[in-house]
Structures are given as C-alpha cells and as structure tokens.
Amino acid sequence: MTGVVNGLWRMPRDIDRARQLLSPDAEHRVQDLVRRERRRASYHRRRIDMTHSYDNTLLQRMGFADPDRRTPAHGDACIEIASDAERFLRALCPRLGVRDARCQLEVPLQQGEGKYATTVGFIDCLITWCGPCNGYSAVNGLYEIENGVVWSRLSTLVEVKTKIHSIGDLLRQMNLYREYRQCDEYVIWSLDSADSRFATLLEQQGYTLLVGAMP
C-alpha cells in the first residue's frame, strides 16, 4: 500500500480506494507504520545534512578530500596533542621555555564575513602558547615581561596525517591554510615513519614535519 523506495515515499494514486479495502484496525496499523517510517527517514536526512555541511568546505570543492579525518587513528592523535600540548611543542624542537599552551581542535578556517563567509577547511589543532623571545617574531605582536624575560604569545598550526598520500595535495592544503591563517609555526604530524623522506622538501616550503609516535 505504502512503502519507501530509495528513501522516497511512493503512494498509490487510488489511495482512497485502497483505504476502503482495509479494516479500521489494519488502516490504523498502516498509519502508525507510516508515521514511524517518516520519523526514521527524517532522522537520516538530518544526519546526511549535518555530514554535508561539515564536508562542504573550499578544500572539498577543490577536490582535496581528507579521508584521514574520519579514521580513529587521526582522532586519537589530535586528542593526544590536546591532552599535552606542551609535550608536543617540545617534541618538535628544543625550546628555551613553553608555558600556557592551549590547544583547540577542528578550528574552522573561514574566508569572508557574515552571509558571504566560506569555510576553507578545518584546522586539526591550533596551539597558542607563550615562549621567551629567542628569534621568534610573534604574528599577533603580544608580549609580556616577567623577571626581565620577554615572553611572546605564539601560535602553532598542526595538520595530522595517518600517512602522506600525496605530497602535492598536502602542500596545496597547507599553502591554502597559510594564506588564510597567519601563525608562527606550521607543522605536519604524520603517523607513518616512512614519510620522513618528505622532511627536507617540507622544510624548504616553510613547514615542520614530525613523523611516527610522539616522543
């Protein structure tokens, strides 16, 4: 009588005649089934809409899909950074001091404002922290002096990869992020140690590469 075909409702044209053939109890059961199926279909449509809104970024439309974002290993790595951001910063290179490190996950990167805003992508991890002025030039220009030491507020953008599948796609992604978000450091953390072969190339482009497990 009624049914769902490929998620679309199909009603017979002679629905009134069909109802006449049903007993009152049977019609009630059919109507109850229809209501339950409609609620289920509505629930799934909402889930699909949420996924589409999340994936509807400039990077996605340009064809730079990021399958890593949906893998448990990628999420675990981001959580590991957020749980101890100072440890991650020290793992990148020796530092004279790190304090007040704060990590935000899945930070939206937008172009434009208001109704004209377009989401470029989502930054995996954005770390803000304080470090003594030892050659750094803080993008935001925030400084504070404590006991004669000048501390600057710095920012580090981190892109997490389970594996670098395409160095070209990665560079385009990072260059686009750098275009729309100024930070003091841009870091790629690949969980695959074999990706160390890209370290020199990425360094030449202004990016720091960390591979394998976090020290």
Domains and CATH numbers, the chain: 10-55 (no CATH), 64-211 (3.40.1350)
pLDDT band for position 118 (50/70/90)?
A: confident
pLDDT beyond 60 at 2: no
Question: Around 37, how many Cα atoms within 13 Å sit in the side-chain half-sphere?
Answer: 15
Q: Model confidence over 13-31: pLDDT tens digits? A: 545 555 555 556 666 666 6
Nearest CA among 92, 154, 96 for reference residue 129: 154
SS3 63: coil
**Of residues 77 and 10, which shows the higher confidence score?**
77
Looking at residue 66, what is its pLDDT?
A: 61
Q: Are 2 and 30 in contact (CB under 8 A)?
A: yes
H/E run at residue 111? strand 99-111
pLDDT band for position 142 (50/70/90)?
A: low
Q: Model confidence over 55-65: pLDDT tens digits? A: 555 555 555 55
Nearest CA among 153, 155, 158 for reference residue 132: 153
